[in-house]
A = this chain, B = another copy of it.
Amino acid sequence: MRDGNLFDLAYDFERIFRNSEEYTRLKRLFKEVNTDPTAMQLFNKYNHLQSELLNKQMMGQKVMKQEIDDFQKTLAHVQQNEKIVKLLEADQHVNILITKLNKIITKPLEEIYGTPEGR
């Protein structure tokens, strides 16, 4: 079996994923948020605060109460913005889809090395 097949399949996969309902919806909703200055600013702030918190947690750094308060306040605003809520839902759907597909594709490696958690 030639690996060329794997690359052909990867390109097929990319094309079908790009045309999937999940992806086209995500792309449209992302554009809607990013062409609405208020939503865009709020969405960027939310992502920025969230990734700062996650990075600190991952690095085992202390998180200040003020940072958690800021994040929760921003999250409350986000939850009131319908465009962002829809985008986050679409993002979650795509993530679930990709996770399921990835689990299928990486099963042969899991059989060798065990699950990533179990390594």
The chain A residues found within 8 Å of chain B, CB to CB, are 1, 3, 5-7, 9-14, 16-23, 26-27, 30, 47, 51, 58-61, 94, 97-98, 100-101, 104-109, 112, 119
Contact = CB atoms under 8 A, between A and B. Distances in A.
A3 B27 contact: no
A19 to B, nearest CB: 5
State the oligomeric state as a number of copies. 2
A59 B22 CA distance: 35
Contact of A17 (B6, B17, B20, B21): B6
Given A3-B20, A11-B104, A94-B109, 6 more contacts: A1-B19, A3-B97, A9-B9, A9-B12, A13-B13, A27-B112
